[in-house]
Amino acid sequence: MALLTILEYPDPRLRTKARPVTAFDAELRQRIEDMFETMYAAPGIGLAASQIDWHHQLIVMDLTEDRSGRQVFINPEILSKEGSAAGEEGCLSVPGIYDDVPRAERISARWQDADGQWQQQSLDGLLAVCLQHEMDHLDGKLFVDYLSELKRQRIRKKLDKERRSRTA
Ligand code: NI
């Protein structure tokens, strides 16, 4: 297993649109393992392949505290959305920043699992919000895109300052 580097805002590679996953093979399974390890180490509850510079439609997630709820979403699609849920979000690619983002409260989604089998489910709560956040990544979008330009400027300055002090 390997820890992968997580790209950080405003890295332009985070803007890449992910292509569908077509090969459900050992290489994909290894990548999923590495992504879980990277996400747990960060620590975080969700990670999209875009964030580790692999631009295919793959998301890993675990919303539990004891790492018992591993979920994999491949080639996900949202079939319908309902209601609104504005909550505070954070992102491993925008470390230390949290802000409110408007999301649908309930979604119906379908996706393939690690074996390529299609799954379909209605999701709500944190799971629904988290999947919408991660699917944005696959589309080259970040949660800070929902904020004002002024806020984004402040965030870029803050992250830049932190990166400089990390390497100093
Ligand atoms: Ni994120």
92 CA distance to ligand 1 centroid (A)?
Answer: 6
CA of 88 from ligand 1 middle (Å) equals 12
What is the four-CA torsion angle of 71, 82, 49, 16, rounded to 10 degrees? 170
* Active-site residue (options: 27, 88, 105, 134): 134
pTM: 0.96
* Number of domains, the chain: 1
Asked whether residue 127 is domain-assigned, the answer is: yes
| Model confidence at 142: pLDDT above 90 | yes
Percentage of the chain with pLDDT > 70? 99
Residue indicated by tokens 């409260």: 105
The pair of structure tokens assigned to 108 is: 């119906």
**Distance in angstroms between the alpha carbons of the first and the last residue of the chain:** 30
pLDDT over 90 at 167, yes or no:
no
In this structure, is residue 65 part of a structural domain? yes
pLDDT of residue 86: 83
Is residue 24 domain-resident? yes
**134 noted as active-site residue:** yes
Mean pLDDT over each residue of the chain, to the nearest integer: 96
> What is the span of the domain harbouring residue 158?
12-167
Distance 136 CA to ligand 1 centre (A): 8
